[in-house]
Amino acid sequence: MPELAVHLIDPARADDEQLLEALRHGDERAFVALVRRYGGLMQRVALGYVRTPAVAEEVVQETWCAVLTGLERFEGRAALKTWLFRILTNRAKTRGQREARSVPLSSLTGGDDDGPAVDPDRFLPADHARWPGHWAAGPAPWSALPHERLLAREVRERVRAAIDALPERQQAVVVLRDVEGWPPEEVCEILDLSEGNQRVLLHRARSKVRAELERYFADEVAA
Amino acid sequence: MTDIACNELVELVTDYMEGTLAPAERARFDAHLSECPDCVEYVAQMHRTVVAVGLSAVELERTPAVTALLQVFRDWKRELATG
């Protein structure tokens, strides 16, 4: 294998295919760029299957080993990231199943469909004479908030905290969909979810982040 | 055709945004929105939430352990070189 037969000017900006090519030539910078690009996401996805961050980190490390040793056989029929995450989720699942023998199943599978999008107390009761199930206290309008408000550092931190507080599968789905911009089919494939299940997880996640933003903006929009 | 109540609508909003509601259900959803400013606001907030999540760049907070992985890479390369 020739040493550095590549012309990566800026690995951080190279696309996956360029990085893959450079990696095949043993370019360390390409490896680092891929780790930076996908490492955090891999860790988060792995946490959907195993119990602790330390184990997730091991799974991520094993995955990179498997990627490097499988590089020669990888024909590039699937996208690099699809291949990468398929290896990751397979390993994470195996690891999770091993762990599950000593853990009650509910703690691993629970939390996927956990409660309503909005506090039921916000709605009129089902036996209300005129408006059963309608808003008792509707959402205070955000229209007064300037669009840039969403970019404020504090708001972003609040959103991040809300995402970190979600059950792990919900985190994985909302980050892949709404941060990374993956299409639903790819998320289903990588996480081995049905389309319906993927939407449920996305719905729970988005609903909780919205509720958190609503609490955060409450003072600003009340005036 | 039964109407959707607000507390049902908030559970359908992701299906609505994903375009996966059946046509009849979508029609009921739209009919509800045409009469309910609170739910219009709710749907708008869900849209803005998606934007906010995208802007949060949540991954940047988790820096992967590059150093440990570099060792993995260097071992792999050494093995390649020695055949």
**Are A123 and A76 contained in the same domain?**
no
Residues 6+ apart with CB under 8 A from A142: A217, A221, B41, B44, B45, B48
- Let me know if residue A2 belongs to a domain: no
**Are A124 and A87 contained in the same domain?**
no
Residue A199, chain B, CB below 8 Å: the answer is yes
Residue A44, chain B, CB below 8 Å: the answer is yes
Residue in A with minimal Cα distance to B42: A139
- Let me know if residue A42 belongs to a domain: yes
**Are A74 and A115 contained in the same domain?**
no
Burial pattern A185-220, b for ≥16 Cβ within 10 A else e, equals ebbbbbbebeeebbbbbbbbbbbbbbbbbbeebeee
**Are A129 and A212 contained in the same domain?**
yes
CATH number, domain with residue A30: 1.10.1740.10
Q: How confident is the model at residue A67 (pLDDT cuts 50, 70, 90)?
A: very high
CB contact under 8 Å between B56 and A179, yes or no, is yes
Q: Which domain holds residue A28?
A: 16-100
Residue A118, chain B, CB below 8 Å: the answer is yes
Q: Which CATH number fits domain B6-82: 1.20.120, 1.10.8, 1.10.3470, 1.10.10?
A: 1.10.10
Answer yes or no: is pLDDT of A119 > 90: yes
CB contacts of B76 in chain A (<8 Å) are 65, 68-69
Q: How far is B66 from chain A (nearest CA, A)?
A: 7
**Are A117 and A96 contained in the same domain?**
no
Residue where a domain stops, chosen among A67, A100, A133: A100
CB contacts of B78 in chain A (<8 Å) are none
In chain B, what are the domain boundaries?
A: 6-82
* The two structure tokens encoding residue A17: 């295919």
**Are A43 and A65 contained in the same domain?**
yes
Domain count for chain A: 2
Greatest mean pLDDT among A97-106, A183-192, B4-13, B54-63 lies in B4-13
Residues B73 and A31 sit within 8 Å (Cβ to Cβ) = yes
Q: A79 by DSSP, 3-state: which?
A: coil
Q: How far is A85 from chain B (nearest CA, A)?
A: 16
DSSP symbols for B29-54: HHHHHHH-HHHHHHHHHHHHHHHHHH
Q: How confident is the model at residue A222 (pLDDT cuts 50, 70, 90)?
A: low
Residue A84, chain B, CB below 8 Å: the answer is no
Out of A65, A116, A138, whose CB is closest to B11? A116
Q: What is the ipTM of this complex?
A: 0.85
d(CA A140, CA B42) in angstroms, rounded, equals 9
Answer yes or no: is pLDDT of B69 > 90: no
d(CA A209, CA A205) in angstroms, rounded, equals 6
**Are A136 and A55 contained in the same domain?**
no
What DSSP character marks residue B4? Answer: P
Compute the average pLDDT of residues A125-144. 92
**Are A143 and A197 contained in the same domain?**
yes
CB contacts of B39 in chain A (<8 Å) are 135
- Let me know if residue A191 belongs to a domain: yes
Compute the average pLDDT of residues A148-172. 89
- Let me know if residue A47 belongs to a domain: yes
